Structure 1
Amino acid sequence: MSKKVITLCYRKIIDFTNTSPWDKFVHEDSFAEFKMQAQFYNQEKQCTTFAEMLLNVPDAEKLHFLVSASITGYLRQLNGIIPDVLDNLGRRFLTFENFKFEIINSDINEPEKHKVAINFFSKPLVWHDTIDNLLLVSQFKATKEEEVLTNLFQVQPFVSIHAIKNIN
């Protein structure tokens, strides 16, 4: 019998309206790093927004990667657990291997316009079943255990199935 192994993506958007301390630190530090890194790409001081830099400055796309360095310490604090996504028992259960940081919008003069996204990619999960609007999943292990621990969760906004693979 074939199983489906899925990888989920959770897109966490952070801007000045976020209230959790972790989100605020990510916002503040990524904005400070953006301002610092933008100086190199905007030496004539003609652009103030990230969008203007993307349109007018060669290689400004690298700012996504360069600014991401400012948040790696905060990602380590998560201990490999994706924030905000809970199972039906209210527990965080999704683990991640990879992430992609993205600047959505920013203005070097206005921190309230700074908006970023962190896309978390889960470790592989076995998708066992769909029960009403809930997915029944377990951590993917190559072993042939008879009993596996599962999580039941509702797919919430900003969570999607990123990849799927059939295995035997």
Structure 2
Amino acid sequence: MPKGNVRFAYRIVINQHSSTAWEKYLWESTYQEFLMQAQLFNDKAQPALTFKELLSKNEKAEQLHFLVSTAAHPYILQWKGKIYHLADTLGNNFMPFNYCQLDIIDSNIKDIKAHEIGLTFYTPVLSLIDIWEGHYLISLDENLQNLSEGLETLMYKMQNRLSIAYFKPIV
């Protein structure tokens, strides 16, 4: 019997140590966007150097998360709705996502090495069928009317940065 409908959230942290070309391009693009957009919120007489310092001086700098996300958008579109950093137990990358949220962990207007962002990908509502030995057994089909006919399933290992962001039990 299915446990319920879920939405997963999967977070990727991108910084100077990120290794793929996609991550490096995204890291550099979001840093350049941060440099441009931070000027809108910074005090020209005594500029803040880091994102956290800027936030402490100007609460409107919270908008930088959204403003910087525009630079990430073309890179996220390249994934065509699949989370390629998250493979199922067979090694396939089929986990779909509906939207992605960028947050700036920290940055520095004088040092690109301090630039660090997080991307959190949210799946559509999926069916959580069971949890077996540290693995989520899910179905991409949220309509569970004909369980007697069977379901196509995927299995994902529980891991860091993969979380259930929404749960609705099936009664």
Whether the 8 Å CA contact 1:5–1:140 is kept in 2: the answer is: no
Structure 1 window deviating more from structure 2 (120-129 vs 103-112): it is: 120-129
Offset at 1:82? 1.1
Tell me what 2:36 maps to: 36
Aligned ranges 1:1-168 → 2 under 5 Å: 3-44=3-44, 45-142=46-143, 144-145=145-146, 146-168=149-171
SS in 1 for 2:54: helix
CA offsets, 1:88-147, max 9 Å, x none? 100112100122110000001100000000011111111111221211101133363423
Moved more, 80-89 or 102-111: 80-89
Per mean C-alpha deviation after superposition, the further-off stretch among 149-158 and 43-52 is 43-52
- Structure-1-length-normalised TM-score: 0.94
- Aligned-residue Cα RMSD (Å) equals 1.5
Unaligned runs of 5+ residues in structure 1 are none
Rounded to whole Å, the distance in 2 between the matches of 1:51 and 1:43 is 14
* % identical aligned pairs: 32
Q: Which moved more, 1:99-108 or 1:137-146?
A: 137-146
In the alignment, the residues of structure 2 paired with residue 12 and residue 40 of structure 1 have an alpha-carbon distance, to the nearest angstrom, of 27
Q: Whole-Å Cα distance in 2 between the matches of residues 122 and 74 of structure 1?
A: 18
> Could you say which structure has the higher strand fraction?
1
Distance 2:125 2:31 in 1: 32
Aligned 8 A contact 2:2 2:127 in 1: no
Question: Counterparts of 2:77 and 2:2 in 1: how far apart (Å)?
Answer: 35
Question: Aligned partners of 1:2 and 1:106: how far apart in 2?
Answer: 43
Letter in 1 for 2:100: F
After the TM superposition, which parts of structure 1 deviate over 4 Å for at least 4 consecutive aligned residues?
Answer: none
